[in-house]
Structure 1
Amino acid sequence: MTPFNLIEEISRRHPADAPAVVAGERVVTFGELFGLARPIAESIRQHNTLDRHPRIGLHCPNGLDYIILSLGILLADACLVPLAEELTQDERDEITQTTALDFIVKGAPHHSMINWEIETVESPAVQFPESEFQSLNPAFIRFSSGTTGTSKGVVLSHETLLARITAANEGLQLGPQDRVLWMLPMAHHFAVSIVLYLHVGALTILEHSPLREDILATAEKHQATVIYGSPFHFSLLSGDTSDFQWPSLRLPVATAAALPEITARAFEQRFSKPLVQGLGIIEVGLSVLNLDAASEKPTSLGKALPAYQVRLVDDHGSPVPDGAPGEFQIRGPGLLDAYLVPWNPSPLTDGWFSSGDLVVRDSDDYLTLVGRKKSVINIAGMKAFPEEIEAILNTHPDVKRSRVLGREHPQMGQIPVAEIIPADPSAPPKPLALQKHCRLHLSAYKVPMRFSFVDTLPLTASGKIKRT
């Protein structure tokens, strides 16, 4: 029996003349989109002499070509492994070896046609059981951001992707009437976003300009109803001083990083729409969304979507009371099928996934992310979260960005220290001024005891602060 292929299903769901993607002045219908993807799939099939699902890395800039090449790879019953543009060659080589890629598809921008090539990878040693991997009907291998610990290869099947996007859309409620303005890197957010938009028949509007005037002009021209972006994008848009009110906007979704309250408030004030924050985890998908209290509780993740159950537990696995941080665990559809290396086909415990995120639940059942379990700083038995301290430091006008770490201390166990990128490198803020600023908003033990000034901070591929 032919394995289920989610992309084949999508190709049959919509009229051929229905618009699927807008890229600049070009409007691509579903018929055109799959008309471009199928020859790529056929070429891959002819290139593949293996009697199994090949693993294919995709190295391509953001844009229409990325979508077409991804669809072609998946239509060929291959397993797609994104190779993000910002990766160094060493990082790309590591993913190639870890996933035992068979081929790499390289795409490059071209005026009116897809410019791509496929190269064979010299057979790397496979570090996982090939037959078990193949039995999953694999569609994607994704790698976590690596904020703490070792980044793992997350295996997602076609069936898992369908379950995941179906569960997410119970909250998002996207359909053919929607026009989604897309702002994020596809190598990190393709599987449960653009695949979802295509599945439900929503129009995906691609905008690559970093200028808010261009972004808003595109939103106005195409009457965008939804925008998917990072807090950076929403902070940028909030500074707009034009008379554009964005009347078509119904759902702005902030993801990829924690949403600062100042950004949420500024966006709502400018466009009269509260920013909806969501929690997306590579192993889980989009499972928590702040649909009902985005204005009243802008920094909250919201509540679990209907298909999911959430629990918060302490180090012993016992439930924590409301208001106390506990590890976020979740159960529901679309959770990962396996970890690739080291191979783990049973990564759940009684159906629950342990995220490593520390979350607080309030009396109304709303969830707020406070930090990562592995990054907690233990100061004489009291716990501090680097993310909480960084959020305060980043509001100081002389701070561009910060990173807070725990440093060993003979009496205190650990103390918080901060690395600062100054807003003006020629005039960095005084440490005493930064401490005073922190004391206005934080308990005394959370105030960093040392400050250093740096030009850059180590970031993960998705732009998060790297802790290790």
Structure 2
Amino acid sequence: MELKPSAHRDTFARDHLPPPDQWPELLFDLPGVRYPDRLNCGAELLDTTVERFGPDRPAFVDGTGEIWSYGELRARVDRIAHVLTSDLGVVPGNRVLLRGPTTPHLAACWLAVMKAGAVAVTVLAAQRPLELAGICETARIRHALCDIRAVDDLVKAEVPELRICTYGGEGPEDLLSRSASHPEVYEAVATSADDVALIAFTSGTTGRPKGCMHFHRDVLAIADTFSEHVLKPRPEDLFAGSPPLGFTFGLGGLVIFPMRAGASALLLEQSGPRQLPEAIERHRVSVLFTAPTAYRAMLDGLDSHDLSSLRRCVSAGENLPEAVWTAWHERTGIPIINGIGATELLHIFISAADEAIRPGTTGVPVPGFQARVVGADGLPVPDGEPGLLAVRGPTGCRYLADERQREYVRDGWNMTGDTYVREPDGWFRYVARADDMIISAGYNIAGPEVEDALLRHPDVLEAAVVGRPDEERGQVVVAYAVLREGARRDAQAVASLREFVKAGIAPYKCPREIVFLDALPRTATGKLQRFRLRNAEAERAEAERAETDTGRSGADTGRTTSPSAHPLE
């Protein structure tokens, strides 16, 4: 498609979009995702919301209970935008790195970057100097707004010519001190609807992160598809959740969706499973965004907290096991809205809510999106057969100068890397990541199915299943499990778990080995890094081949390995 004239003076982002023939086909059939040629998503989320609902409605709440109204938020955002353009010399199209814990100040910085017509690159507070240096090099970043508490690693990254402006500190150079002398009104840059608004880097579950470029219209499209038609927020809702704003799941769930609906968001610096129930009770949260592992971890503490204010719970980031969905529903009465999204498409594109939810399935394409299951040849496979999930809609993959664009987009479809089954009535059921399928002695075994069986055991908090190379079977199933405190971690526990799994699924899917760990390897956003487990098993298989005198080949075994002794370390 032909791009509209850009408002960017720094054209780096547009210059490094993939060639047009490598773009996915974009769909604008849904009336709500047809936008004018000139569009600034920051102005739409903030200024238009103030016009619709008034300036006194609460926008953000921090962990102390301090409330920022929409009017106060707009004044702060506009002052920061003045600092960006007048003091720091940011011009439309410049990339601005944002770093800090989840706070209203970080959200205000993001909105200011939008209104200034720059490109936001929000990184995770957990990322280290080497990672930060790589992101800055890839995106050619020369400006950064950083929480004073998170600045040390950014300084250690030693990014050439990077100008860092901190906030939350003292002195006249602090962003908040600078902004106090500027006007409360800033006229948003009249960006094109298809000017790049943000570059989101993938979380690294499969290796080297990729920069995903999204337009101003994309930011609104995720609110006008999933949020509008599936989540259905209300202006009186209070959103909260665990994903950071550097993770597009968090950016959508904690900033874009509530603001588009005139609702408010509780932005917590500490938002793990231990903190969330207390925060929900204290602030009367009604909409919760978090990952399956957090829902599982919160189950033990539900009896001591009042969660009656919740009306919507959303899960994404990784597959939601049916066992977790069922346990949460039985304890709270709230059906979790499961969804699959991707950084490449910005947010959720398959989901279901309310009476449409079917535990154990993801759902149907969100209005505005299409999905199908295809074979290696790119052609649809019959319903009921597993294949690769292909998706298209109003958003899609545009990697920043990355040769992997050709792998992700094929024949106009975004290939998500997930194995799915489409049921005859159109529902989509998750099987595994494409590289998580285990082929053992001719059987196709989906790792997540085995994980779900393990998670049904009351002692298992987390589970990850991978294949280990095996000369006789091709691969054997190996499970990694995190157990409840006080649970046995010996050979008897291994035998008990294996028998439990065999009672729930076909015996050939049962793990040949079970490894107990204190924690599973995860990204900073909480996604499981199965590739690290696969790599560890491949190294172990190679070592065993070199030690042919061990006599262990083909035996059913259990390992009770401490993290310090495990090859992941």
TM range (shorter): 0.7 to 0.9
- Deviation of 1:452 after TM superposition, in Å, equals 3.4
Question: 1:401 aligns to what SS in structure 2?
Answer: strand
1:307-456 matches, cutoff 5 A:
307-342=368-403, 344=405, 348-423=409-484, 427-430=488-491, 431-456=494-519
1:105-144 matches, cutoff 5 A:
105-108=145-148, 121-122=159-160, 137-144=195-202
In 2, the alpha carbon distance for the partners of 1:343 and 1:420 equals: 33
Contact 1:377 1:414 in 2 (8 A): yes
In 1, the alpha carbon distance for the partners of 2:95 and 2:258 equals: 24
Alignment match of 1:5 (pick from 27, 40, 50): 40
* AA partner of residue 462 (structure 1): T
User: Does residue 164 in structure 1 map to residue 202 in structure 2?
Assistant: no
Contact 1:278 1:301 in 2 (8 A): yes
Q: Percent identity?
A: 26
Residues 104 and 369 (structure 1), Cα distance of their counterparts in 2 relative to 1, 3 Å cut: same
Q: Which moved more, 1:203-212 or 1:387-396?
A: 203-212
Q: Which moved more, 1:46-55 or 1:388-397?
A: 46-55
User: Does residue 145 in structure 1 map to residue 203 in structure 2?
Assistant: yes
In 1, the alpha carbon distance for the partners of 2:259 and 2:275 equals: 24
Alignment match of 1:279 (pick from 332, 340, 346): 340
- Deviation of 1:398 after TM superposition, in Å, equals 4.2
Residues 443 and 217 (structure 1), Cα distance of their counterparts in 2 relative to 1, 3 Å cut: closer
Residue 20 of structure 1: aligned partner: 59
Q: Which moved more, 1:182-191 or 1:47-56?
A: 47-56
Residues 149 and 211 (structure 1), Cα distance of their counterparts in 2 relative to 1, 3 Å cut: closer
- Deviation of 1:106 after TM superposition, in Å, equals 0.9
Alignment match of 2:144 (pick from 81, 92, 104): 104
In 1, the alpha carbon distance for the partners of 2:365 and 2:272 equals: 34
CA offsets per residue over residues 141-188 of structure 1, 9 Å max, x none? Answer: 112233235431111111222223212222222242332233332221
User: Does residue 227 in structure 1 map to residue 227 in structure 2?
Assistant: no
* AA partner of residue 186 (structure 1): L
- Deviation of 1:202 after TM superposition, in Å, equals 1.3
Residue 465 of structure 1: aligned partner: 528
Residues 275 and 346 (structure 1), Cα distance of their counterparts in 2 relative to 1, 3 Å cut: closer
- Deviation of 1:293 after TM superposition, in Å, equals 4.4
Larger Rg: 2
- Deviation of 1:237 after TM superposition, in Å, equals 4.6
Give the strand-richer structure, 1 or 2.
Answer: 1
In 2, the alpha carbon distance for the partners of 1:107 and 1:437 equals: 48
Residue 92 of structure 1: aligned partner: 132
Residue 542 of structure 2: aligned partner: none
- Deviation of 1:52 after TM superposition, in Å, equals 5.1
- Deviation of 1:226 after TM superposition, in Å, equals 1.9
Give the helix-richer structure, 1 or 2.
Answer: 2
Contact 1:103 1:121 in 2 (8 A): no
Question: 1:45 aligns to what SS in structure 2?
Answer: helix
In 1, the alpha carbon distance for the partners of 2:360 and 2:131 equals: 33
- Deviation of 1:136 after TM superposition, in Å, equals 5.3
CA offsets per residue over residues 99-157 of structure 1, 9 Å max, x none? Answer: 221122211479xxxxxx99994159xxxxxxxxx995211111223323543111111
- Deviation of 1:214 after TM superposition, in Å, equals 6.6
Q: What are the ranges of 5 or more consecutive residues in structure 1 without an aligned counterpart?
A: 111-116, 125-133
Contact 1:300 1:366 in 2 (8 A): yes
Contact 2:198 2:214 in 1 (8 A): yes
Residue 567 of structure 2: aligned partner: none
User: What is the TM-score normalised by the length of structure 1?
Assistant: 0.86
* AA partner of residue 90 (structure 1): L
Residues 164 and 58 (structure 1), Cα distance of their counterparts in 2 relative to 1, 3 Å cut: same
CA offsets per residue over residues 357-403 of structure 1, 9 Å max, x none? Answer: 11122233222211111221111332112222222233334444333
* AA partner of residue 312 (structure 1): V
User: Does residue 40 in structure 1 map to residue 102 in structure 2?
Assistant: no
* AA partner of residue 291 (structure 1): A
- Deviation of 1:425 after TM superposition, in Å, equals 8.2
Contact 2:193 2:217 in 1 (8 A): no
Residue 302 of structure 1: aligned partner: 363
User: Does residue 268 in structure 1 map to residue 329 in structure 2?
Assistant: yes
Residues 446 and 149 (structure 1), Cα distance of their counterparts in 2 relative to 1, 3 Å cut: farther
* AA partner of residue 437 (structure 1): F
Contact 2:397 2:414 in 1 (8 A): no
Contact 1:157 1:337 in 2 (8 A): no
User: Does residue 291 in structure 1 map to residue 291 in structure 2?
Assistant: no
User: Does residue 186 in structure 1 map to residue 245 in structure 2?
Assistant: yes
Contact 1:338 1:346 in 2 (8 A): no
Contact 2:459 2:487 in 1 (8 A): no
Q: Which has the higher contact order (CA 8 A, sep 6+)?
A: 2
In 1, the alpha carbon distance for the partners of 2:393 and 2:501 equals: 39
User: What is the TM-score normalised by the length of structure 2?
Assistant: 0.72
Residues 343 and 37 (structure 1), Cα distance of their counterparts in 2 relative to 1, 3 Å cut: farther
Q: What are the ranges of 5 or more consecutive residues in structure 2 without an aligned counterpart?
A: 8-37, 163-191, 532-569
CA offsets per residue over residues 6-37 of structure 1, 9 Å max, x none? Answer: 10222321222221112232111111112112
